[in-house]
Amino acid sequence: MWTTLFLVFALTIVASFIQRVTGFGFGIFVMMFFPHFLPTYGECTTLSGLLAGSTALIIAVQNWRYIRWRMMGLVLLFNVVASYIAIEYMTALSNDTLKRCFGAVLILIALYFLFLDGRTRVSLKSPLAQSGVGTISGIMGGMFAMPGPPVVLYSVSVLPDKREYVATLQAFSVLFNLFYTLFRLRVGFFPSSTLPLWAFGLLGGFIGAWLGSRLFLLISNARLKQLVYLMMIISGLVTMW
């Protein structure tokens, strides 16, 4: 048990650091590792969501005045509906099936951000586009604890100011993960063993967010992201097999 607590603590420090520097990536990072030492895939997504939401709350409070609430309505609504359906559907799938699907999604996301991020011009300002972003994000968040990538594309499209982009992403993460946790609790993906893991991880979240706020000017976002995406590909391959 102590080994698991330490792993969650250490991984959360790194993940919250990444979240503070880049604005997203907490769930992507921890979900590369959680399925390899936690007993069930459902517990992995629950713990990831709790920690991601807690870390995002720390950052959102620090940047509260930059959150653009009016940009969040449709995306949030469709995300919540889609995530509810996805979490309900997860109960019918085995751990092995979920892990293989997760591995494939991890690789696809990594390949997109490695080779297409910044090279594609997408406008997501229309209500239809926002609904699509929310739906895709909800499915990814509900099943894989990774709602971020579609919302990152949306936020970059509608929020050119860096501070507004980071703050609004954190607000999204807080609200998404609040709903996800309630839905997972309803279907039994929230065992009692999750609470001490969350407590240790929360301490790591404070440390990582503090380090990120102090050091983000000294680290190249591009290099950090490339390292994370390469790790995602490797983890995806390992998870699938």
* DSSP letters spanning 124-193: --SHHHHHHHHHHHHHHHHHHS--HHHHHHHHHHH--SHHHHHHHHHHHHHHHHHHHHHHHHHHT---TT
Indicate whether 71 pLDDT > 90: no
Q: Identity (one letter) of the amino acid at 233? A: I
Q: Residue 56 in contact with residue 70, Cβ under 8 Å?
A: no
Cα-Cα-Cα-Cα dihedral sign, residues 11, 42, 84, 149: positive
Burial of 223 (0-12, 13-18, 19+ CB in 10 A): exposed
What is the tens place of the pLDDT at every residue in 175-232? 999 999 999 999 888 888 899 999 989 999 889 888 887 776 666 656 656 666 776 6
Least confident interval from 28-37, 40-49, 117-126, 227-236? 117-126
What is the tens place of the pLDDT at every residue in 12-23? 999 988 887 777
Helices (H) and strands (E) in the chain, counts: 10, 0
What is the tens place of the pLDDT at every residue in 85-104? 999 888 777 777 877 887 78
> Which residues fall within 8 angstroms of residue 207, CB to CB, at 6 or more apart?
13, 16
At CA 142, angle to CA 46 and CA 154, rounded to 5? 120
- Report the alpha-carbon distance of residue 241 to residue 237 in Å, rounded: 6
Of 64, 51, 68, 67, which is closest to residue 209 (Cα–Cα)?
A: 51
pLDDT band at 48 (very low <50, low <70, confident <90, very high): very high
Tokens 């409070």 — which residue?
61
Please state, rounded to an integer, the average pLDDT across all residues of the chain: 83
Report, as an integer, the average pLDDT of 114-134: 74
Supply the pLDDT for residue 181: 92
pLDDT band at 50 (very low <50, low <70, confident <90, very high): very high
Largest CA distance in the chain: 49
Indicate whether 241 pLDDT > 70: no
> Which residues fall within 8 angstroms of residue 107, CB to CB, at 6 or more apart?
232, 233, 236, 237, 240
